[in-house]
Structure 1
Amino acid sequence: MRRSIDELRTFYGEPTGALVRRLLARRLSDAWGTASNCDVLGLGYATPWLDGFSDARRVIAAMPGGQGAEHYASAARNRSVLVDERRLPFASGLFDRILMVHAIEEADDPQAILIEAARTLSPSGRLIVATAARGGLWARTEATPFGHGRPFSRRQLENLVRGAGLEPSAWSPAVYVPPWRPLLGFADGFEQVGRVAFPGAAGLILLEASRRNYARPRPKGNLVVLPRPALAPAPSGATRQSHSTGVSRDSELEPQRKPLYGGVPCTD
């Protein structure tokens, strides 16, 4: 059973929710920038972050029927819609960027909603799914929406997106501060120390994936560990390189050593 739209809206209006909003917005900005000239879909309850894509061509907030929908229209090109998560009312290949938050943890069939999201993703598009981390404290308290439904490990998320025909391309743990109000003021310090000293203690996981026909070929066997645990923007064209970790998403290009930051336009 999904959290209602009223519960989610209330949470993100409180200090704890505002902190999660800020920390995830920072990771999304590093990964996608403002998503210039992109068509962006927020699936689940992604509206707290959609205003960050100020240069997007179109932004749509799709909210599952079991959750309910809220009005979202910060500009004329932005819309919200109540959807059946197993049959999204969008054409195949429509979106350049898809952000999924509070989308799969409480879904009856997480694989089905990811398959539908993959169908609407453009051939060079990129998808980020954010969920509660199985080993984190946020999944162990029901005081936040992340304490409901099923949390995921990184490996479980990777297997799930592969089952939907996507290929994992980057990942990032986030929100190391425990979900206790007296500690929220130290969140930035927890983020810096947690990555180094307690990498498994993150409250949330963000995983980025793209269509398999644009993914780097990988050998069978054990999972290949990405060189850096950080979300990285990918190119919209076949020969562009990442502006975050510098890892090329074209199998013919070698990774760069110097990290760059900033969003990559979807069109020239």
Structure 2
Amino acid sequence: MALDVVDLRSFYAAPLGRLAHRFLAAVIRHWWPDTTGLAVLGCGFALPYLDLFRQEALRSLAFMPADQGVVHWPPHATQSLTSSALVDPDLLPLPDGSVDRVLLVHLLEVTEIPRDVLDEVWRVLAPSGRLIAVAPNRRGWWASVDTTPFGHGQPFSKGQLHRLLRDSLFSPERFSEILYIPPFERQTTLRMAPLFESFGRRLGLPGAGLLVAEATKQLYRPVMVRKVVRRSLPQLQPALAPLGLRRES
């Protein structure tokens, strides 16, 4: 079940949400340093991160699940000029190969069949397109506490997210794990957040709150080879002839 847009906005307006945005936005911007002339699509609730590209991208779109709710974006746009829309994530209202970058945030974990969403993303991505998928880490604290949006839905392990992308015809290029701090709004915890992040990433510790994966679109579907199983024929036994066909001696 999708999260409510009001709760998502409230989270990112709070200190813990601003901190999560800071660390996740840094990874996204590092991986996509320049989107000039590109079409960027955010699905789920990607508004806080689409702002990174709004001034330079050729086009920025924000698609949100119908059962989540939608807000106008950019913030000061009139209704006729808004770049956000309610959609069915399984049926994106875009032509094939029409976007260059897709950002999935607050979507895969609350989608009943994530593979259907990724199939649609594959369709609308250009041949050289790239995807960033963000999902709660099954081994992290954030997935086990429902006081943040990342504590709802189905979390993933790194292996599960990797297989999901591969099964959906994407080639995973790189992974990152972020949010090593506990998901609690205590001033001491928030002040120590940079230290937690630096220490956790440097040592590659388990328990990060979020998994972030970048993948490229595979242009050709793999050819499935059917395995041929050789079976020996059963040994044939002579059958008795019907009584009417036997010779009388």
TM-score range, shorter chain: 0.7 to 0.9
Aligned alpha-carbon RMSD (Å): 1.5
Name the aligned partner's letter for residue 62 of structure 2.
A
Q: Are residues 1:201 and 2:207 paired?
A: yes
Q: Are residues 1:37 and 2:34 paired?
A: no
Displacement, 1:73?
2.1
Deviations for 1:138-196, whole angstroms, at most 9, x for unmatched residues? Answer: 00100001101011111101111112111111111111111112201211111110013
Displacement, 1:32?
0.2
Gaps of 5+ in 1: 215-268
Please identify the structure whose Cα radius of gyration is greater.
2
- Counterpart of 1:263 in structure 2 is none
Shift of the 78–37 alpha-carbon distance from structure 1 to 2, 3 Å rule, reads: farther
- Counterpart of 1:22 in structure 2 is 22
- Counterpart of 1:13 in structure 2 is 13
**Separation in 1, partners of 2:76, 2:61:** 11
- Counterpart of 1:184 in structure 2 is 190
Q: Are residues 1:161 and 2:162 paired?
A: no
**Separation in 1, partners of 2:10, 2:205:** 30
- Counterpart of 1:110 in structure 2 is 114
Shift of the 72–43 alpha-carbon distance from structure 1 to 2, 3 Å rule, reads: same
Structure-to-structure mapping, 1:64-83, within 5 angstroms: 64-73=65-74, 79-83=83-87
- Counterpart of 1:94 in structure 2 is 98
**Separation in 2, partners of 1:21, 1:92:** 31
Displacement, 1:117?
0.9
Name the aligned partner's letter for residue 71 of structure 2.
E
Contact 1:51/1:74 (<8 A) preserved: no
- Counterpart of 2:179 in structure 1 is 175
Contact 1:58/1:78 (<8 A) preserved: no
Gaps of 5+ in 2: 221-249
**Separation in 2, partners of 1:198, 1:143:** 26
**Separation in 1, partners of 2:114, 2:48:** 22
Contact 1:102/1:131 (<8 A) preserved: yes
**Separation in 1, partners of 2:194, 2:119:** 35
- Counterpart of 1:55 in structure 2 is 56
Contact 2:2/2:107 (<8 A) preserved: no
Shift of the 75–168 alpha-carbon distance from structure 1 to 2, 3 Å rule, reads: farther
**Separation in 2, partners of 1:119, 1:213:** 10
Name the aligned partner's letter for residue 28 of structure 2.
L
SS of the residue corresponding to residue 176 of structure 1 reads coil
SS of the residue corresponding to residue 213 of structure 1 reads coil
**Separation in 2, partners of 1:146, 1:186:** 21
Deviations for 1:237-256, whole angstroms, at most 9, x for unmatched residues? Answer: xxxxxxxxxxxxxxxxxxxx
The TM-score, its normalising length taken from structure 2, stands at: 0.82
The TM-score, its normalising length taken from structure 1, stands at: 0.77
SS of the residue corresponding to residue 92 of structure 1 reads coil
Displacement, 1:66?
1.4
- Counterpart of 1:137 in structure 2 is 141
Moved over 6 A (4+): 75-78
- Counterpart of 1:229 in structure 2 is none
SS of the residue corresponding to residue 52 of structure 2 reads coil
Q: Are residues 1:85 and 2:85 paired?
A: no
Displacement, 1:78?
6.3
**Separation in 1, partners of 2:219, 2:88:** 27
**Separation in 1, partners of 2:14, 2:116:** 32
**Separation in 2, partners of 1:24, 1:78:** 25
Name the aligned partner's letter for residue 160 of structure 2.
Q
**Separation in 2, partners of 1:112, 1:140:** 26
Q: What number of residue pairs does the alignment pair up?
A: 214
**Separation in 1, partners of 2:219, 2:116:** 20
